[in-house]
Amino acid sequence: MFKLAKPTLVAAAVAGSLVAGAVNAGEQFGLGRTATAEEIAGWDIDVRPDGMGLPVGSGSVLDGEGLYEAQCASCHGLFGEGEGRWPVLAGGQGTLADERPTKTVGSYWPYASTLYDYIYRAMPFPAPRSLTPDQTYAISAYVLYLNEIVDEDFVLTNENLADVKMPNEPNFFVDPRPDVANTRCMSDCADPAALQVTGSIGGVTPVGHFIEGADGPAASHDAQHELEKKMEMERLKELGVEVEEEEASSEPAALSEAAVAGEATYNMACVACHGAGIAGAPAVGDKAAWEARIARGMESMISNAINGYAGDNGVMPAKGGRADLSDEAVANAVAYMAESSQ
């Protein structure tokens, strides 16, 4: 048994040398450079349950209502009930012991900090990190209000967020079980060439792996919506409910050469939002949604798609967040969507 002399000073010295070594190691070997304070601040946006890391700001339930309806309701429903197969945000209390629990902010979330943190990092779906801190506080306050956690006159700030107690917080605890070490595969291993990584818009929630018939919690694949709609109609028919059949559409007009070339780009990069009209994006085939846009001309639509667009109905990031696409590919995708919606 022994003692360390001045343990605080020793620990501080060791920590300082490790940080300095980590920061300067790259430059010593001619790799990269030391990150600036501004660059570090851009990444250092995580929020702890005790509120550490929150930016200064505030937002009321009242302000959050309008922001939520404009930025969130198209996916999550006007009252947090969820649209299609997008996540439900409100309700679900008392369901966690069910076979299919409804995990929402009110029924499952352990801390209000995780609500703010996720909205600020990843929302809204087509344009993550486009919300200001005050807007994020307001939307967070409104979602808390939808779950009856705060009153309608509540104002959420960086000073009181940590004081908000979530209903399910007591059911979260540190897992006392020991870690289990995985063993390395030495025989009959998976062939790396057969593995496939799928996704949609770079930097946001991946949806490319949701396929027709998938039982996923938040699929946005347009085929999934159509499948569920068809299944619901069949269910109603079996119950004897009179269902109005949709009239078969007339033969669509032939697509231009540019539109034909743009279909692949649409399926790869645009369908996540434009397939089902997510977050204000006009859904392909919705003539009413496209009529005014088409009237302004292809040049205007292509310019907005390439350079980005912010309007009352939502935000369109430049090239849909796919900076790797060429201007021509984006223009062709716009042609395909417009011609398919006339």
What is the per-residue pLDDT for 86?
A: 84
186 vs 132 pLDDT, higher one: 132
Residue 161 pLDDT > 80: yes
End-to-end CA distance of the chain: 82
Identify the DSSP state of 30: T
What is the per-residue pLDDT for 213?
A: 44
Residue 182 pLDDT > 90: no
Does domain 257-339 fall into CATH 3.30.450.270? no
Query: At 241, is the secondary structure helix, strand, or coil?
Result: coil
Q: Which amino acid is at 269?
A: A
Q: Does 58-171 match 257-339 in CATH topology?
A: yes
* Minimum mean pLDDT range among 4-8, 89-93, 115-119, 303-307: 4-8
For the segment 209-227, what is each residue's pLDDT rounded down to a tens digit? 444 444 444 434 455 566 6
* Rounded Cα distance, 58 and 157, in Å: 4
* Rounded Cα distance, 151 and 141, in Å: 9
What's the chain's average pLDDT?
79
Q: How many CB atoms lie within 10 A of CB 17?
A: 10
* Rounded Cα distance, 28 and 25, in Å: 5
282 vs 183 pLDDT, higher one: 282
What is the per-residue pLDDT for 192?
A: 75
User: What angle, 0 to 180 degrees and rounded to 10, lies between the N-to-C axes of helices 327-339 and 287-295?
Assistant: 120
* Rounded Cα distance, 37 and 262, in Å: 42
* Angle made by CA atoms 229, 87, 214, in degrees to the nearest 5: 50
Decide: 277 and 87 in contact? Cβ < 8 Å: no
Omega cis (within 30) before 124 = yes
Decide: 135 and 65 in contact? Cβ < 8 Å: no
Sequence-ordered list of residues with C-beta below 8 angstroms from that of 144, at least 6 positions apart, any chain: 61, 105, 112, 115, 150, 154, 156, 164
250 vs 92 pLDDT, higher one: 92
Residue 207 pLDDT > 90: no
Residue 55 pLDDT > 70: yes
Reported as half-sphere exposure (CB side, CA atoms, 13 A), residue 299 has a value of 0
Question: Residue ranges per domain, the chain?
Answer: 58-171, 257-339
Residue 208 pLDDT > 60: no
Q: Which CA distances in Å does 203 have to 40, 61, 127?
A: 19, 29, 9
Does domain 58-171 fall into CATH 1.10.760.10? yes
